[in-house]
Amino acid sequence: MMNEREILSQIQALNIDQVEEFNDFRAEYETLMMEYRCAIMEVETKLNVLNSEFAMSHNRNPIQTIKSRLKQPKSLLAKLKRKQIDVSIRGIEENISDIAGVRIICSFPEDIYAIADLLLHQDDIRMLEIKDYIKHPKESGYRSLHLIVEVPIFLSTGKKLRKVEIQCRTIAMDFWASVEHQLKYNKNLKNTEQITRELKECADIITSVDFRMQELRGKIAYVESKPEPETKEEKKDERIFKTYEDDGMAMGSSHDYLRSLAGS
């Protein structure tokens, strides 16, 4: 936990006027951050339970890694300043939705929607916002499914609701995003236009590989489930999750559910 001197030094480095105000509610701020850490733990527990149950039912884990982070004071205060929001507990609670962050790394694109669907079906999770950058990638090539959810935490004083941002990616998407982040913040970078173009091309290639690997997994699962084919003629595998069709992506049941919640 940061001490008062560390917090104040970060604020002063940003030239924020409300230093004294922030110092006054330091105890409230630390309590708020504790609550967001508890919200992260709640989400992580739910995801670990779903991953274990899925492994028991399907003999594989859809989630490879779960990462989490709590927004640092410097980053939080910079965002408040950028949005012209007063440095206050209420300002943070009402206007900042990504203080608590959880990142889910999955093996295949269909696992992303399956896990998101299972999580959102839980009656104590409420989705506030969805941004599907897999179906609608950013111009840079960035792909991920972003969810803002509200999760209850249970304290000695009672129940509270806290927001958590959940990012769902495949291993390949996470690799690309990590490299792109490193290059993006390289101030000595030259030929930025060319590099941006090549990064976009790499993102498209990685996405193609992601869905090709998904199809291969589906074919293997189909063969294993039917050791003796009905005919010698190879039949089309209807169980494979086809991703790109008329409008860019065929919607599975879980994706339909997410879209309906988002009102799209």
pLDDT digits 0-9 by tens, 127-145: 999 999 999 999 999 999 9
Q: What is the pLDDT of residue 261?
A: 47
Mean pLDDT of 17-38: 77
Q: What percent of the chain has pLDDT over 90?
A: 52
Q: What is the pLDDT of residue 181?
A: 82
Q: What percent of the chain has pLDDT over 70?
A: 74
pLDDT band at 104 (very low <50, low <70, confident <90, very high): very high
Handedness of CA 90, 91, 97, 102 (dihedral sign): negative
236 pLDDT exceeds 70? no
pTM over 0.85: no
Q: What is the pLDDT of residue 253?
A: 45
Mean pLDDT of 87-100: 90
220 pLDDT exceeds 80? yes
What gap in Å lies between CA 77 and CA 32, rounded to an integer? Answer: 14
189 pLDDT exceeds 70? no
Q: What is the pLDDT of residue 243?
A: 36
Mean pLDDT of 63-87: 91
208 pLDDT exceeds 70? yes
Domains of the chain: 4-186+247-262 (3.30.460.10)
Is the separation of the CB atoms in 150 and 125 below 8 Å?
yes
Per residue in 105-129, pLDDT (tens digit) is: 999 999 999 999 999 999 999 999 9
Is the separation of the CB atoms in 103 and 67 below 8 Å?
yes
Q: What is the pLDDT of residue 262?
A: 46
259 pLDDT exceeds 90? no
Mean pLDDT of 207-227: 84
Q: What is the pLDDT of residue 19?
A: 53
Contacts of 95 (CB under 8 A, 6+ apart): 80, 83, 85
Tokens of 40: 């992260």
What gap in Å lies between CA 42 and CA 36, rounded to an integer? Answer: 10
235 pLDDT exceeds 70? no
Is the separation of the CB atoms in 147 and 182 below 8 Å?
no
Q: Within 10 Å of residue 103's Cβ, how many Cβ atoms?
A: 17
What size, in residues, is the chain? Answer: 264
Is the separation of the CB atoms in 172 and 206 below 8 Å?
yes
pLDDT band at 257 (very low <50, low <70, confident <90, very high): very low
- Give the active site residues: 165
What gap in Å lies between CA 258 and CA 224, rounded to an integer? Answer: 30
156 pLDDT exceeds 70? yes
Higher pLDDT, 29 or 113: 113
Mean pLDDT of 42-48: 97
Higher pLDDT, 229 or 145: 145
Higher pLDDT, 149 or 55: 149
